[in-house]
Amino acid sequence: MSTAASQETLPTANSEQRPAEFGTVWRTFASAPSLDAFYQAWLTLLCERIEGALGGILLLAALPSGPFTPAAVWPDRRRDLTHLTSAAEQALRERRGTVHEHSTCDQGRCFDLGYPVEAGGRLRGVVVVEVGERDPAHLQADLRDIHWGMAALEVMFHRHDADRADAAKDRVFTVLDLVAVVVEEERFQAACTALVSELATRLDCDRVSLGLRHGQGLRVHAISHNATFGREMNLVRLLEAAMAEAVDQETLVRYPQDPAAPLVTAAHADLASQQGGAVLCTIPIAVKGRFEGALTLERPHGRALDGAEADLCETLGGLAFPVLLAKREDERWLLGKAWLALRAQVVKLFGPAHLLRKLIVLALTAGVVFFSLATGSFRIVAKGTLEGGRLRAIVAPFNGYLADARYHAGEQVDAGAVLAILDDRDLNLESIKLSTQRAQYQRERREAAAGHDRAKVRILSAQLEQAEAQLALIREQLARTRLTAPYDGILVSGDLSQSLGSPVQRGDQLFAIAPVGSFRLILNVDERDIGFLTEGGKGTLILGALPQTAIPFRVSLVTPVTTPAAGRNTFKVEGELLEQPAGLRPGMEGIGKLEAGRRKLIWIWTRTFLHWLRVKTWAWLP
């Protein structure tokens, strides 16, 4: 059987109907030395007020999510009160006063009165009181007494929360002040000394020592109120041993130690005996998951650090130690920094964890070994240009004017095709003039021959021959006014369509024509690679216009002609195409790779850098 008493029927905790004796009771246990004593006193008074109470338990939780643990038990902590669990769970679940009946007690029929403990808007716990058999009215009165008794707990919770908030605020300000002391100091040693000295003053300690990891052990770097100290001092060795003892156990070590948490404290015992029985507390400090040092605090006998002070030191260490480590790293020599960085990488490589790093290094090592042993084809890369096998220049035969131009560069022409026509009007007029002059010389020579004037005949014969020669020259020039293609080919250069009527001089190149199907390859090879080439060597060409076609070629000539390009000298190398796919045109450019034997793959990929390094080293050496 289970019944519930509704909370709405009860007066509030601040009701004026609260019995006056509870105010008196509050004053009697408000000065309890500790919270545990307060809870026990409160439960005792509550159970004594409820007539016929057989037992009681107060369950409280440190966190909002639980768990709930016994804070006080009445009348005896050794008594088994597990049967009150059901009533406690019901009161917590329903968050109101409940009555749970059971028949497991000695009196036969008993009731468990459960009431939730709430303060500050959250559930803090539950109190359960076991009573003997009674009527419902009496049970309702008992629940009302429990409800009124909650006022004392509420006040205590509010006071405790306020005290904790003030303590937390003070702790934050203290930590920030101490970290500021570390940050303000420029030098590492000065920052360590200032930190321990200020911490000793704030916590009223006889001595505070700071140690940092050094190799496999710890080294004391600062002792409060001591600017310098010798490494050979017995005190320093004892401090380092005590710090190492706490760091090895990765937990705070007190001496004299707490019997509830047995730890190894041999080094602390030696230090305490050397200091006349001082109370010690060593706090190991972790940075990024690794314990990098410790703080050892010493106080006179009987004045041990409490939990709040230890938490303050641990928080301070977590904030200040990274700053100290950074200052120490900044003061190292460059070689020292490089050595530490190298050692850290080696530790990560050969130590535990860092599996991905190990796999990457293993893969790189395997790759270097493979490419150091494997060989491959060494090929020299060079830019290439297609040119006609033999170019024929079409030049102006005489001084004149351009009358017509029928083709331009890039067009394919047949043999005998008229490429351009020069203006022949002046030549025709000169031809008529010379023809008339020749006829005159012929008539005059006949007249001289009829008069038997041999001298005049000879003179006129010479003039006649001169006129005929000039006329033949004019006729030859007239025949050359039509510039024709000497063979089937492609015009490589020449576009005169925009220059009609312009004068041309004798010998000016008007067109350049290359025969169809005849090409030569010109490669510009870097001077660093020219020594690997020989005439007759083979290679492969990929043209920008035909990227899908690989054209084989053979080196036909390595010329000693150099051409500066992009700040380097290149040699001109001529190649002969072994295949001529359709679509080739003079002037096409691409990339050629020339075979130069087989070499180690690592040499092939690093030769350019090695060449540069050798040259630069030679230039820098005295």
**How confident is the model over 60-111, as pLDDT tens digits?**
887 666 688 888 888 877 777 777 888 888 888 888 888 888 766 666 678 8
CATH class as words, domain 2-164: alpha beta
Indicate the residue type of 85: T
Q: What fold characterizes domain 186-331?
A: Beta-Lactamase (3.30.450)
List Cα–Cα distances, 305 to 101, 257, 283, 319, 540, in angstroms. 48, 12, 11, 20, 83
CATH of domain 518-620: 2.40.30.170
Q: What is the mean pLDDT of the chain?
A: 81
**Tell me, what DSSP letter sits at residue 521?**
E
- Residue 3 tokens read as 């019944």
pLDDT > 90 fraction of the chain, expressed in percent and rounded: 9
CATH class as words, domain 392-512: mainly beta
pLDDT for res 552: 92
3-state secondary structure of 593: strand
d(CA 159, CA 150) in angstroms, rounded, equals: 14
pLDDT for res 1: 42
Q: How many other CB atoms are found less than 10 A from the CB of residue 476?
A: 12
Is residue 52 within 8 A of residue 189, CB to CB? The reply is: no
Indicate the residue type of 88: A
Question: In the structure, what pLDDT confidence band is assigned to residue 166 with cuts at 50, 70 and 90?
Answer: low
d(CA 43, CA 533) in angstroms, rounded, equals: 103
Q: In what order do the strands lie in the sheet with 509-515?
A: 392-395, 509-515, 489-493, 412-413
Which residues of the chain form CATH 2.40.50.100? 392-512
Residue 386: phi, psi to the nearest 5?
A: -85, 135
Provide the sign of the torsion angle of the four alpha carbons 542, 546, 550, 552, taken in this order.
Answer: negative
Q: Please check the confidence at residue 209 and state whether its pLDDT lies above 90.
A: yes
Q: Please check the confidence at residue 11 and state whether its pLDDT lies above 50.
A: no
End-to-end CA distance of the chain: give it in Å, rounded: 105
pLDDT for res 167: 67
Question: In the structure, what pLDDT confidence band is assigned to residue 439 with cuts at 50, 70 and 90?
Answer: confident
3-state secondary structure of 68: strand
| Nearest partner of 179 among 188, 190, 191, 165, judged by Cα | 191
> Which of 100-104, 422-426, 530-534 tops mean pLDDT?
530-534
The separation between CA 329 and the C-alpha centre of its own chain, rounded to angstroms, equals 22
Q: In what order do the strands lie in the sheet with 68-74?
A: 2-4, 98-102, 110-119, 122-131, 53-61, 68-74
Residue reference for tokens 């004299």: 256
d(CA 456, CA 448) in angstroms, rounded, equals: 6
Q: How many other CB atoms are found less than 10 A from the CB of residue 215?
A: 6
d(CA 98, CA 59) in angstroms, rounded, equals: 15
d(CA 441, CA 111) in angstroms, rounded, equals: 164
Is residue 379 within 8 A of residue 481, CB to CB? The reply is: no
β-pairing, 489-493 vs 503-504, is unpaired
β-pairing, 418-422 vs 122-131, is unpaired
Question: In the structure, what pLDDT confidence band is assigned to residue 20 with cuts at 50, 70 and 90?
Answer: very low
Which residues of the chain form CATH 3.30.450.40? 2-164, 186-331
**Tell me, what DSSP letter sits at residue 11?**
P
For residue 68, how many C-alpha atoms fall within 13 Å in the half-sphere facing its CB?
18
Which residues of the chain form CATH 2.40.30.170? 518-620
d(CA 91, CA 2) in angstroms, rounded, equals: 12
| Nearest partner of 280 among 321, 314, 310, 259, judged by Cα | 310
The answer to whether the predicted template modeling score (pTM) of the entire model surpasses 0.75 is no
Q: Please check the confidence at residue 163 and state whether its pLDDT lies above 70.
A: no
d(CA 310, CA 252) in angstroms, rounded, equals: 8
pLDDT for res 40: 84
Is residue 489 within 8 A of residue 413, CB to CB? The reply is: yes
d(CA 553, CA 514) in angstroms, rounded, equals: 20
